[in-house]
Amino acid sequence: MAESISIIMPAKNEAVGLSALLPKLKTKFPTAEIIVVDDGSTDTTPEICAENGVIRVSHPYSMGNGAAIKSGTRRASGNILIFMDADGQHDPEDIPRLLEPLDNGYEMAVGARAWDTHASLWRRFANRVYNGLASYMTASRIDDLTSGFRAARARHFQRFLYLLPNGFSYPSTCTMAFFRSGLPVRYVPIRAHQREGSSHIRILNDGARFFMVIIKIGTLFSPMRLFLPVSVALFVIGSAYYGYTYISAHRFTNMSALLLISSLFTFLIGILAELISSLHYKEADFERRLVKRQ
């Protein structure tokens, strides 16, 4: 690929992983811009970055994985952004496989981890649930919603920086944003390695955040897929309750009225949200036409 490449790695106390990973990256991609975002590390991360001659962006305190991604993206100058973990899970040998789809019309390529390489059975189950829910919200097949190993065109990824949360759910956000903006995404099968050190992800807290991010991004980019089922469910319950009370008491109750009105309001809110979300599609279409003219 003739385009310039920036490799961005968020790191919080990942000195062990960086000491092994950075020499490999420097050898395999000597012309790439390598950026390590030091998210408030207290180990020897600064020294390792200096020894390997890579760019280090420092946070004065830990601001979160997503915040590190945003800092690295703002610092990067490459046309292609590659995101990978600094803990040794992602193999630099897989980077050319992520770049290949971008040469063939895709705007982002994501490393989809093999099922048996997830850290634990619970995470395998959680990722399967997230993938299914996100696939429904985007109407596209999503093989690995939470993978942090991906390559994307900078001009598109930078558009969604304001959407990215500061926590660990940034992969979920950018994946759904790309799909719902009509930007083609390709999944590339990879095998993740055992990480160096302990994970900073907390299953319950970050799992709840992942779920909320899916709902928020789905509401922003595909509102009717969320509001329409809720509206239909309220209408069915309200109608069934009205039928029951009419047969048993021959009257129309306040609860039936509340359910039916709630169904109508939910549907109208969904239409309004759909109109607002169309602004994102309009912007994406404008950018694609502009690129074609150039």
- pLDDT, averaged across the chain: 84
Say how far apart CA 76 and CA 70 lie, in whole Å. 10
Q: Which CATH superfamily is domain 5-199 in?
A: Spore Coat Polysaccharide Biosynthesis Protein SpsA; Chain A (3.90.550.10)
Q: What is the pLDDT of residues 72-109, one digit of tens each?
A: 999 999 999 999 999 888 999 999 999 999 999 999 99
Q: What is the pLDDT of residues 163-218, one digit of tens each?
A: 788 876 788 888 888 887 788 999 999 988 765 555 555 545 555 666 676 677 66
Q: What is the pLDDT of residues 118-161, one digit of tens each?
A: 555 666 777 777 778 777 877 778 888 888 899 999 999 998 88
Q: Does residue 223 contact residue 270 with C-beta atoms inside 8 Å?
A: yes
Instruction: Write down the pLDDT at residue 217.
Output: 66
- Give the DSSP H or E segment for 10: strand 5-11
pTM for the whole structure: 0.76
Burial class (CB in 10 A: 0-12, 13-18, 19+), 158: middle
- Give the residue extent of every domain in the chain: 5-199, 224-293
Burial class (CB in 10 A: 0-12, 13-18, 19+), 93: exposed
